[in-house]
Every structure is written in structure tokens, then in C-alpha cells.
Amino acid sequence: MIDQKLAEALKDRARTGDQTALRSPELKSLFDQLKTLPAEERAAFGQSVNELRQELQSLLAGARDKQEQLPPIDTTAPFDANTPFDARPRLLDSGQGSVHPLMTELAQILDIFYRMGFTAVESREIDDDFNMFGSLNFPEGHPARDDYDTFMTVQKDKQNRPFIAPAHTSTMQNRVLKRLKPNLEKGEPIAAVIPGRVFRNEDLDARHEHTFYQLEGVYVDKGVNVGHLIAALKTFLQEYYGKELEVRTNPFYFPFTEPSFEFMLSCPFCDKKGCQICSQAGWIELLGCGMIHPKVLHAAGIDTNEYTGFAWGGGIDRLVMMKYGVEDVRYFHSARLDFLRQFA
């Protein structure tokens, strides 16, 4: 173990702002001692030496804060004493203020869904295995559950599973279905969209972000069928792009919908002629969707003999990139004013 006296003496020096404490022979002697220890003791000792060093650093920072403190000010006043009138606080030109383009887009999308009769609930940023996987019919051992794609915490929940940074807004489905279940009892549908920030554990490049925005939607009622799903999404997209569009579905696979589809729309930028945005295909693949899997409805206590529903999810970032021709997805989280002020 570290000599307590020695450690305390070092801390005292750091408290007084003695910068040499960090480079002192005493501290160095502890690192030297580390090398002489038997292998099994080394890890624990090394850790405590590092902890001591960090503590010294933070004590020194505290001491510096005190030593180099600016004089206190009267924080209850509206401006500083003796500030000339023309140097008093003044807001910046409103013309240069800007709302983030992703948030502007999200507000527009929400507006359309509100008008279509959907309510909205924002997604969480830290969640558990049940909401992220279990309630969504991801079997134990499913590839998405392992940690190759999903951020997980060191800390564990009550089931001794790590918390999860959601990789999709579907993580809210169970909660939203349960919360809005009383609608069904009143004879009204469950109709909700769920925007939120989601995370994928991948390396960054111009087209890949580990942090991005999705919008999920759920609709449950008696007699809901696949045709309703296609019509609802088509209606939304036509409103969003302000024009008539063609849509088509490709069969797909998601654990939480059955059947599942990829949803394509005729390219709104070239009207199917082929352009850079749709890679000359004339079609854009925009969403994943499907009929909510009965196990997902069951998990929310909804009777699948009576009720069926559809769900979909899609990215917001891509909509904005296509709309403005943004070439690099990393700009969204760069906080660069040269990027942001273009959306003023």
C-alpha cells in the first residue's frame, strides 16, 4: 500500500498550489516502487498511485482556481459597476441566430403528424435490455444484443444487465403502447410518433455517425391492415415533399414487425428521372416499417385477436442531407458556426 503519510504530505502541498507536488521525487518514488512489486500486487498498487496522482491534479486545479480567481462580482445586478452605457450587455443581431437544421426539420415533421392525428413522445437516451430488445421480440443471443453495434454502460441494472444507449427509437414502443392503451378502451386508436437521438457504435466518416436522429411511429386499432400502413406513410411523404409520389415496398426482416418492409418512394428531387440524390435509381429507400409483431403487442398487454397495428422508423439526418445537399453527416454535431449560421 501507499505510505499514507507521504500521500497526505503531497496532498497538503497540492492544496497550497505547489505545482512541484506532481513532479516531486516522492511521487516518482511510488512509481519506482511499482516496478519492484510482485506481478499480482502491481495492478492494485498502480491503480492507487494513479488515483493519488489524479487527486493531486484536481487539488492543484482547485488551488489555481483560488489563487487566480477574478474578483467577485455582484451577480444580482443587471450590469457591471462603471460599465459605460454603450458597453452594457446587448443581444446579438437576431439575424444571425439559428435553430439547428435537424431540429427545424423535426418540428416540421411533427407538425404534419400532429395534423394527421398522431401525438408525440420523445425517446430516452439511456435504457434497459427489456425496452431495447426483450419487449421487441429480439431473442436472447440475437446479434443486435451483443455489444458490437450497441453502446452499453459499465453500470448494471437490477437484472444485472448493462444499461443501453438505444440504437433505435423502437426502444420506446413498449412504453408508448402501454401508456396509450387506454385510448383503445375508449375506442380511439393509439397513434404516436417518437422522435429521438439514437446511437450506433461505429467509426465516424462522412456518411456514418454514431449519434443520429430517428422518428418512430406506431398506430394500433381494430382492423388495421398493411394497406393502412402504406397509405399513412405515403400521405405523410406527399405532405412533406409537397407533391404526388409513388411508393413501393420491399419485403424485409425486423424482429419487431411481421411482415416487415423497406419503404421506397419515387425520388422527389428528380421525379424518377434519376439524379445524384437517388444514385440514378429514381427511387429512394427511406424507412423501415411493418405490422407490429404480435409478441410486441402482447408485451404491452394488447389483445392481438382484437387489435393490430403498424410501426415504422426512419432517420431525420438523411432527410436534411438530401434536402440541402449536406455532404458530410459529421457537420451536424460539429457546432461549427459556418455550418449552423447557413440555416439562420
Partner 1 sequence: MKVSLSTIRAMSKRYGCAEDVAAVGVGELIDKVNAQLGGIDEIIAIGNKYEGIVISKVIGCEKHPNADKLHVCNIDDGGAVKSVERDNDGYVQVVCGAPNVREGLIVAWLPPGSTVPDTVGKDPFVLEARELRGVVSNGMLASPKELALGDSHAGLLEIDGDHKPGTDFAEAFGLKDDMVFDIENKMFTHRPDCFGFLGVARELAGIQGIPFKSPDWYRPQPELSNTETDELELYVRNELPELVPRFTAIAMRGVKVGPSPVWLQVELAKVGQKSINNIVDYTNFFMLETGQPLHAYDYDKVKTLSGGDAAAIVVRNPKPGEKIKLLSGKEIEPRPGAVMIATDRQLIGIGGVMGGADTEVDEDTTNIILECANFDMYSVRRTSMEHGLFTDAVTRFTKGQSPLQCLAVLAKIVDEIREHAGGKVASPVIDDKHLDESLGGQTLHVPVKLSADFINSRLGLGLPAKEIKSLLKNVEFEVDIKGDELTVTAPFWRTDIELREDVVEEVGRLYGYDHLPVELPKRDLVPAVKDPLLTLKTRIRQTLAKTGSSEVLTYSFVHGGLLDKAGQDKNQAFQIANALSPELQYYRLSLMPSLLDKVHGNIKAGYDEFALFELGKVHGLDQGADEAGLPREFEFTGLVVAAADKLKKQGAAYYQARKYLTELVKAPLEFKPVGEGAQKFAVVQPYDPGRAAMVHIKGGAYLGIIGEFRTSARQALKLPKYCAGFEIDTTALQKVLGGVHYVPLTRFPKVIQDITLKVPADLAYQELFDAVQNELNEHKPQNTLAELGAVDIYQPESAKEHKNVTLRLDIASYERTLTDDEVNKLLDQVAAAAKAKLNAERV
* Binding status of residue 58 toward partner 1 by CB under 8 A: yes
Among 3, 32, 47, 117, binds partner 1 (CB under 8 A): 117
Using CB under 8 A as the binding criterion, the count of chain residues that bind partner 1 stands at 122
Q: What is the CA radius of gyration of the chain?
A: 28
Among 21, 121, 278, 319, binds partner 1 (CB under 8 A): 121
Among 64, 207, 208, 273, binds partner 1 (CB under 8 A): 64
From CA 309, how far away is CA 225, in angstroms rounded? 7
Q: Which of 109, 141, 96, 132 is nearest to 338 (CA)?
A: 96
C-alpha cell at 281: 435509381
Pairing of the two strands 283-292 and 307-315:
antiparallel
CB-count burial class (<10 Å; 0-12, 13-18, 19+) for 44: exposed
From CA 47, how far away is CA 44, in angstroms rounded? 5
Stretch that binds partner 1, among 27-35, 111-119, 271-279, 321-329 (CB under 8 A): 111-119
* Binding status of residue 87 toward partner 1 by CB under 8 A: yes
Q: Which residues pair with 222 in a beta bridge?
A: 307
Q: How far apart are the first and last CA of the chain?
A: 59
Among 40, 68, 185, 327, binds partner 1 (CB under 8 A): 68
C-beta separation of 264 from 285 below 8 A: yes
* Site string (132-151) toward partner 1, x via CB under 8 A: ---------xxx--xxx--x
* Binding status of residue 245 toward partner 1 by CB under 8 A: no
From CA 220, how far away is CA 180, in angstroms rounded? 10
Scored b (16 or more CB within 10 A) or e, 213-224 reads bbbbbbbbbeeb
From CA 77, how far away is CA 259, in angstroms rounded? 63
What 3-state class would DSSP assign to 103? helix
* Binding status of residue 225 toward partner 1 by CB under 8 A: yes
Q: How far is the CB of 343 from partner 1 (least distance, A)?
A: 9
* Binding status of residue 16 toward partner 1 by CB under 8 A: no
Among 75, 160, 185, 325, binds partner 1 (CB under 8 A): 75
Among 16, 29, 33, 235, binds partner 1 (CB under 8 A): 235
Q: How far is the CB of 115 from partner 1 (least distance, A)?
A: 8
* Binding status of residue 344 toward partner 1 by CB under 8 A: yes
Q: How far is the CB of 234 from partner 1 (least distance, A)?
A: 7
Q: Which residues pair with 196 in a beta bridge?
A: 214
Scanning residues 262 to 321, which ones bind partner 1 (CB under 8 A)?
262, 285, 291, 293-294, 304, 308
Scanning residues 158 to 217, which ones bind partner 1 (CB under 8 A)?
158, 162-163, 165, 188-189, 191, 195, 197, 199, 201-204, 210-211
Among 98, 277, 281, 282, binds partner 1 (CB under 8 A): 98
